[in-house]
Chain A
Amino acid sequence: MNKPQISIFGSVYFVLMAIFLYLPIFILIVFSFNDSTVLAFPLKGFTLDWYRQLGNARELLISARNSVWVGVLSSLLAVLMGSLAAIAMTKRHMPGRNIFLSLASVPLVMPSIVLGVAVLVFFRKVLGLELNMWLIAAAHVLISIPSTILIVMARLADFSANLEEAAMDLGANYWMTLIKVTLPISFPALVAAFLTAFTTSFDEYAMTTLITGTDTTLPVYLYSLLRFPRRLPVAVAMGSIIMIVSAVLVVLAEWLRRWGTARTPKEERV
C-alpha cells in the first residue's frame, strides 16, 4: 500500500459521491435561470430576469448587507480574541489551560437551538435588551472563537518555538516577541480563521433566527421568503451567487492554510 494503486471501485464511488454532493447545488443554479415563478419541474425556459430583479430587491440587499456587517465584525473580534487565547494555549505553563480549552470547545458541541435559546433568554430576560444586530454579532463571535483557537493553535504547533526563543535570546520581551514574531508567523492562520468565521457567520441560521429582532440577516430573510413562493426565484438567484462566492472563499482559506503549512520546513531551518 506504499504506492497509490489505481482503484476502479474507489474512483467510481468518488465520482458518484461528487455528483451526489453537487447535484442539489447544480439544480438550484439551474432554477435561478428558469423562466417560472414556480420552483418545480419541468423547466420552462431560460431567463436572466431573476438576476435583473436582484437590483430592486431592497429587503434582500439590506439583509445581505446586514450579514456582511455581522460577518466582518464578528469574525474580526473572534480572530482577535481567539488568536490571542490560542497563543497563550501553546504555553504549557498556562494556568487553567485544560479548563479553558474545554470551555472553549463547548460552542462546537452545543446544538444551535440550545445555544440560541440560552442566549435569547439571557438577552431578553436577564439583561432586558431589545434584539438587534450587535447582539447577533456578539453571538456569532461566540460560535467562531472555538474554530479560531483550533486553527491558530494548529498553525503554532507546526512551528517549533525556536523562533520565539531566538527573539527572546536577542533580548525581546514577551510583548515584543508576540508582535514581531508570533503574530506574523500566525498570519496565514489568522486569515484562514477569519474566512472560516465569516463563512460560518454568513450562513448561520439555526441560532441567529432565535435572536433576530427587526433587522434580519440574509439566511433569516431567505427563510422567511419560503412563505412567499413568488419571490423565491430572486432569492435562489442571490443564493447561487452566494454559493459561488463562498466556494471561492473556501478555496482561498484552504489555500492559505496549506501555504502556511508548506512554509513551515523553511522556517524551522532558519
Chain B
Amino acid sequence: MRDETSLNPPVSIQDGHGGIEKKLTGIPRRSQLALLVAPSALWLIILLVLPLITMIGLSFQKSAFGPDSEVFTFASYLNFWQNSAYQSLLGKSLWISLVVAGLSILLAYPVAYFLAFHAGDKQSLLLNIMIIPAWTSFLLRVLAWRLILGSNGLINTFLMWLGVIQEPISGLFYSVNAVIITLVYIWIPFAALPIYVALLRIEPGLLEAASDLGAKPWQGFFKVTLPLSIPGILAAFLYVFIPTVGEYVTPALVGGPNGLMIGNIIWDQFMRGLDWPMGATLSLVVMLIVLLPLVFMAKAAQQTGLFGGKSE
C-alpha cells in the first residue's frame, strides 16, 4: 500500500490495497494505531494547542498578572485598531517579507533550474553545496553580515581602498536594506529546494514536444517549464514569507531603529514592556496573517491539484 500524504506529494497511487491485507491478523487495529500517535498528539496538544488557547485568553485580559488579569476587555484589540504605529510596523513587516520572498525566489530560480536540468551527474553534490550553509548557525551568519555591511565592513573597506568612495556608505548598515539583504541570503537555499523539486517532476517529453512543435527554447520555458514549476514557486514563497513576517532577530542585529519589524515589538511587549495582553494580541494578528494565505493556497491546491505540497 503506497500512500500519499497531505504533506508529501504522492509518489504513485496504487489501487487495490486492502484486498490481501484485510485477511492478515497483523493488520494494526485502530486502537493500536491510536497508541502510536498518542505521544506526539499529546505533546502537540500540551505545547501547542493549549498555549495558543492561553494566548487567545490573554489577549482579552486587562493585564497579565494581578487583580486586573480577571478583567475581560477588548482594550488590546482597540489599541491595535487605533494605534497607527502598530499598523505601519505590521505593514512594513509584510512589505519586507514580500520583497524578501520575491527576491529569494528570483535569485534561487536559476540555481534550481541549473541543478535540475544542467548539473548532470554532479546534481546531488551541487545540491549539497547549496544546502550546507543553510544548516550552519543562523546567528553567526547574520553576524557575518554585520562584518560585511558595517561601516568598517568588507564592502566599505573595499570600496574605500579602491577609491570609489571617501566616506563609508551609511545606508548599508542599520537599515531596512540590510535586513532585506541578510534575509535573502538566509533564505535562498530554502527557496531553491522546492523549486528544484518541482522542476525535477516536469516530464522531459513535454519540452521535446514543445520544441517539436516549433517552440523556441525561451518559449518552451515560458509556456511549459515556468507554469509547471508554479507549485514549487508557491511552496518557496511560503517557506520564506511565513518565517520572515515574524522575524525579529535579524532586524535587531542589522536593522537598527529604522529596520525594526512587528516581531521586535512583540518581543518588547513580553520581555521589556510587560504588556503581555498587547503582545498576545499582536502575536495572534501575525499568526492570522500567516495562516490566511496558507489556508487559501491549500484550498486552491485542493481544487486545482496545483500545489505539490511543501516537500523538500
- The interface of chain A, by Cβ under 8 A from chain B, is 1-2, 4-7, 10-11, 13-14, 17-18, 20-25, 27-28, 31, 38-42, 80-82, 84-85, 87-95, 98, 100-115, 117-122, 125-126, 138-139, 141-142, 145, 149-150, 153-154, 157-158, 160-161, 164-165, 167-169, 171-177, 199, 203, 205-206, 210, 219, 222-223, 226, 236, 239, 242-243, 246-247, 249-251, 254, 258
Contact = CB atoms under 8 A, between A and B. Distances in A.
Given A107-B48, A109-B242, A85 B266 contact: no
B7 A101 contact: yes
A85 B41 contact: yes
Interface in B7-37: 7-8, 11, 17, 20-21, 24-30, 32-34, 36-37
B283 A113 contact: yes
A153 B7 contact: yes
A24 B148 contact: yes
Main secondary structure of the interface of B (DSSP, over half): helix
Interface residues of B, number: 109
Contact of B21 (A1, A107, A161, A258): A161
Interface string B119-143: 1100010101111110111111101
B26 A177 contact: yes
A142 B43 contact: yes
14 contacts: A2-B204, A25-B144, A27-B148, A28-B141, A28-B147, A93-B30, A93-B33, A109-B238, A113-B286, A118-B54, A157-B5, A172-B26, A203-B135, A236-B140
A247 B135 contact: yes
Given A25-B144, A125-B64, A1 B117 contact: yes
A22 B136 CA distance: 11
Contacts of A154: 8, 311
B169 interface: no
B11 A158 contact: yes
Contact of B55 (A10, A118, A205): A118
Given A11-B114, A168-B27, A4 B119 contact: yes
B157 A250 contact: no
Contacts of B132: 247, 250-251
A91 B2 contact: no
